[in-house]
A and B are shown apart, each in its own frame.
Chain A
């Protein structure tokens, strides 16, 4: 059974820092991996989707990388801003399954 772990569970940084959020998964036979952002009391917003054949995806200040062999993905946020404060979740879709496995998220606070 696929297991997805996100470390750290919580992170507090000053504005302007570059930061890395981690997502690890136990079964490397994945179809894709998706990063989401969730604001308090809100639904999830998709940030980046990486297919299994891709190594990375970029959107603005966000860059997500995927290393299937090591079972890891990282979300890099450049020049963090207070508006980046949210919970970030990753979800893995394993090969042969239509049921994504979500991590429990990293709660990020960027303080001015």
Chain B
């Protein structure tokens, strides 16, 4: 398995609070991604990174920000959590942006009350 960890694995928070999810990789892959998975929508890309300090928006980026200060860490922040952000969040990595296999982390279950 690719060396990808996510923390926390489970979190319950209240509406309006900030939340930060962390993705850590030991594979030295250049590209990192944050997805959310919801029933009825499947997996949707939130943000991705193509290098340290280089990030771009995905399909559902509103309400989320990301940062990547080191190759191995990609942080996803919900500035002010809302109930619509209750979801399972997955981090993924790949060697290349296109044409390369994506490897996924175990996921973080977030419940916003």
Contact = CB atoms under 8 A, between A and B. Distances in A.
Interface of A: 31-32, 34, 36, 41-46, 49, 51, 89, 91, 93, 98-100, 102-105
Main DSSP-derived SS at the B contact region = loop
B106 interface: yes
A43 B104 contact: yes
A48 to B, nearest CB: 9
B28 to A, nearest CB: 18
28 contacts: A31-B98, A32-B99, A34-B101, A41-B107, A43-B105, A44-B90, A44-B92, A46-B103, A46-B104, A49-B100, A49-B101, A51-B99, A89-B42, A89-B43, A91-B43, A93-B98, A93-B99, A98-B48, A98-B56, A98-B97, A98-B98, A99-B59, A100-B45, A100-B102, A102-B42, A102-B44, A103-B42, A104-B41
Given A43-B90, A43-B107, A44-B90, A105 B102 contact: no
Interface of B: 4, 40-45, 48, 56, 58-59, 90, 92, 97-107
**Which residue, of B45, B98, B103, has the highest number of chain A Cβ atoms within 10 A?**
B98
A93 B41 CA distance: 17
Contacts of B42: 89, 102-105
Nearest to A95: B98
A36 B97 CA distance: 17
B68 to A, nearest CB: 16
Nearest to A52: B99
Contact of A45 (B48, B97, B104): B104
A104 B45 CA distance: 14
Contacts of B59: 99
A77 to B, nearest CB: 19
